[in-house]
Structures are given as structure tokens and as C-alpha cells.
Amino acid sequence: MLSSSLLEKVKRNPIKTAGILLGTFVIARTAEKIILKKIEKAPQKDDGFAFGTIRHSKDSITFLLKETQGLYTIYRDGKLLYRGDKSEFTDKGLVPGTLYQYYVEFTEEEKGISKKYGVQTATAVDQKSENNILKDLVNTTVISEEYIQFKWEPIDGIDEYFIYREQQLIGKTKTCNFKEKIPSISKEYNYQIKAKRPLLLSEQGSSKTNSAIAGVLGIAKNDTSKEQTAQEEFTIRKKIGPVEHLLISSETNGQEKKENNWLVRYTTFLQEEWIENPNIVSSERYFKGDNRHYDPEANSYRTRTEITYDAEAEEATVLKKTAGITKAYDEDKQYLKEERASDEGIELQEVIKNEDFVRFELYHEVGNPLVASPAINYRLFGTFYCNGTVDFIGSHDQAPCHEVYMKKHDEKEWHTIHQTNNKGLEMMAPQTANHLWRFTMFTEM
């Protein structure tokens, strides 16, 4: 949807403005094609990791190490698990569907060789979640002093994945494997793996029916294409700490006490100033939007939830929730009435706490309090690990805008977890495709 300022420009000089928009679009698309053409010349190969390969089961993780004359040392959370020259080691007695971090070191003293690796991977599950395929997808990240590498399980219906670093496209792959030389060992980086697939191939219930209805919705709406309403979107985001910090001896790192307290803020909002009521016979012709862009501190929103996590507190996770005020206007945009939506559809459920992590599941379903319309729906599954790792898995309608941030209790700046634009309010219909996302931190060892 065009901004109000851009609409004014179109009205004053439609031909010139259209030319500028077309030129901008062509330049952007051309730049993207050039990047992809360069990427195609260097396809990614699925050849394991520098130290070997990793095998996953629901209660164990096995390292199949390359046979050499040197010595391998493996730590998990500062605890020594293995030291020797055998080519295979299995870490047993693990929890299904759980992230684990390892520090792997290879030394060959006679040749003066010493190589260090940081590994973040996970155990498998017997049956993957039908609500969000990303929840139980095994992702592995390996960092060394030179390279960073991502490997993940394939998702049915997806043939190609696009890789971004700091929101810049840097590669694509069909092998669920991506490796690149680390730009700097002293900097923190944010990576994203993005993909799309037809709703027809989704785990969403009655996908054939949903896909057909979604296509019809797309045809019926001016601001949403048929393809968009029937296309699931995926985003896997990785926050990687400075390599020079991660590859410090794990024995030393594991002895440091991790400060585990976080504030997570999830907000939904409408970026438009005015929202037109699709019901043309209603006297409530317009609703007031939030008229803003992404901002963790903004006071205008549809809903906001906050989860406070403190590992030392008796109640590790606390939920705070609120819904914004919906205001209705007539055809002349004269104020009619307002009402605050109920927040009863926001619930924190299934909180699990043990010595290794705290897990929670957040359900959100909040509708327009003034008229009958689809509700804003999302689900958030989160895990706070005692070693400092944070893992969030979410799914939501592709409308309105969603923004998720987090920070430690003593921090001033928010860290961006997830942001998505409003694809059109018809995307809130239950038959349309969702956006599935996952955010994982790998900043501590």
C-alpha cells in the first residue's frame, strides 16, 4: 500500500511518479539478478564439516571425526566429554528436540597444528510438529577461525533457500548447506535463511482446501496477489557472536556464570494511518491505523505482549499483555466510537523448567472489538537455555505487521528478533498461508 505522501505525488504528477517507481523497481530487480548470477557460478556442496560429520538421534549426538594422527577434544558447556584419537564419539542421554553447544579442538603437536570449532546443533524428535515444521527442524551451525557453515534438514516443497547477512543477499543453495569465509572474527553477525513454498504442500490442516480458498482470496483483493495468499514464507535467523569470543577455550568459558535474564516484547501494529472497512454498507467506513514503522518503544499498536524471564526467580517467566484501542470513523473520517479489544485470547501455556532450560508456549488470538473480522493470530514457542542460548520459533498470519525484540534487564537497546510487513488484511483469514520463523542465538559457549 502506498504512503500518504507518495499518493499526493501521484496525484500531482502521475506520469513522472510512475516512471520513478518503475525505474527504482527495475534497478532493484537488476541488482538482485546480478547478485544471483554471481552466486550461481559457485554452487554450495554438501560435504560435511571440516572436522567430519554429525549424526542426530532423539537422545544422542554423534561426531564422526576425520581419521588423523592428531588428538580431538570435545566439550559441552565447559564439561570435558571426550579426548582421544578415535574417529567416533557419541554424546548420550540427551533430551529430544533440544539445542546443544560443543567446543571441538583438534591438535597435532608434531606438525604444530591446532584447530578450534564451535558447534551448535540439536537432537531429533520422533514426530515433527504439525503446527510449525521449523520447531523440530535440526539446524547445525559450525564456526571456525576462518569459516561459518550452516546445515539444516530439508523442508518438503522447498527447492531453493536464499541466504542473507545483515539483510544483504549473499547466496542461495539447493543443498540445505551454506558456507562462507567469516568477514571479521571480532564482529557479531545476523544471518537469515529465507524460502517460500505453496500452501498446498504445507502441514496446515486441509491444505488442499485452504490453498484453493487462498487463491480465490488473492484474486478478489487488489493489494494481495493470488500467489501471495497461497505461499507460505519461512525465515530462519541466526545471531552469531564474535568468533574470537566463541572460540576461547571452552573449559574457561564454561566456568563463567551466564547472566540469564531477558525481556521479550512482541507487538502487532498497522503501519497505515487509515484502514478502510471492506464492508461498504457499514456506517463505520474507516478505522484508525497506528501510522508508524518498526519501533520497539512505540505506544501505538494493536496488541503487545511482554515475557519477563529470570533464571533465578521462583516463577521464571511472567507474561504481561495489553490490547490497543480500536477507533471507528465515518465516510468523512469523523470520529464515531472506540473500544479496547479483549486480551483474553493471549495465554502463556506449557511452561517447563529444569536445570538446563525454561520453555514456554504463547498463544495469541485477538479480534477487532467493533466489527466481526478475522483475529490476529500467532504462536510463539521459546526456550531460554542456562548456557545463555535463546531459541524462538513462531508462526503468524501475514498481517498485520509483527515485530519482536528482546533485551537483558540492564540493557537500554533492544535486539531485533523478527519483523514482517503487513501483506494485506485478507491474509488474516484462516485459509491463507502463514509466515513461519525461527530465531536462535549463538553468542555464548
191 in a structural domain: no
150 in a structural domain: yes
Model confidence band, residue 211 (pLDDT cutoffs 50, 70, 90): very low
Are both 390 and 259 inside the same structural domain? yes
pTM for the whole structure: 0.83
Q: Is 126 exposed, middle or buried (0-12, 13-18, 19+ CB in 10 A)?
A: exposed
Length of the chain, in residues: 445
Q: In this structure, are residues 83 and 73 in contact, taking their beta carbons and an 8 Å threshold?
A: yes
Are both 224 and 269 inside the same structural domain? yes
Over residues 387-400, the pLDDT tens digits come to: 999 999 999 999 99
Q: Which residues are CB-contacts of 320 (< 8 A; sequence separation ≥ 6)?
A: 305, 306, 307, 308
430 in a structural domain: yes
Are both 58 and 36 inside the same structural domain? no
> Backbone phi, then psi, for 25, in 5-degree steps?
-65, -45
CATH code for the domain in which residue 91 is found: 2.60.40.10
Q: For the ranges 130-139, 170-179, 377-386, which has the lowest average pLDDT?
A: 130-139
Number of structural domains in the chain: 3
339 in a structural domain: yes
How is residue 275 written as a grid cell?
484502514
Task: Pick the more confident residue, 123 or 6.
Answer: 123
Over residues 312-331, the pLDDT tens digits come to: 888 888 999 999 999 999 99
Give pLDDT, residue 201.
58
Over residues 289-301, the pLDDT tens digits come to: 999 999 999 999 9
CA distance 374 to 403: 20
Are both 302 and 390 inside the same structural domain? yes
Q: What angle do CA 259, 262, 268 make, to 5 degrees?
A: 165
Q: In this structure, are residues 211 and 197 in contact, taking their beta carbons and an 8 Å threshold?
A: no
283 in a structural domain: yes
Beta bridge partners of 178: 150
Are both 124 and 222 inside the same structural domain? no
Are both 323 and 413 inside the same structural domain? yes
Give pLDDT, residue 286.
96
Average pLDDT of the chain is 85
Are both 375 and 395 inside the same structural domain? yes
Write out the H or E segment, with its range, that includes residue 268.
strand 261-269
CA atoms within 13 A on the CB side of 296: 17
190 in a structural domain: no
175 in a structural domain: yes
Are both 342 and 213 inside the same structural domain? yes
Model confidence band, residue 255 (pLDDT cutoffs 50, 70, 90): low
250 in a structural domain: yes
Coil, strand or helix: which one is 24? helix
Query: How distant is the alpha carbon of residue 194 from its chain centre?
Result: 9
Residue that is last in its domain, among 117, 149, 184 = 184
Over residues 10-58, the pLDDT tens digits come to: 445 544 444 444 444 444 444 445 444 444 444 444 468 999 999 999 9
Are both 176 and 289 inside the same structural domain? no
Are both 56 and 180 inside the same structural domain? yes
Q: Can you give the residue range of the structural domain that contains 31?
A: 1-43
Are both 302 and 270 inside the same structural domain? yes
Are both 179 and 265 inside the same structural domain? no
Residue 3 has pLDDT above 50, yes or no: no
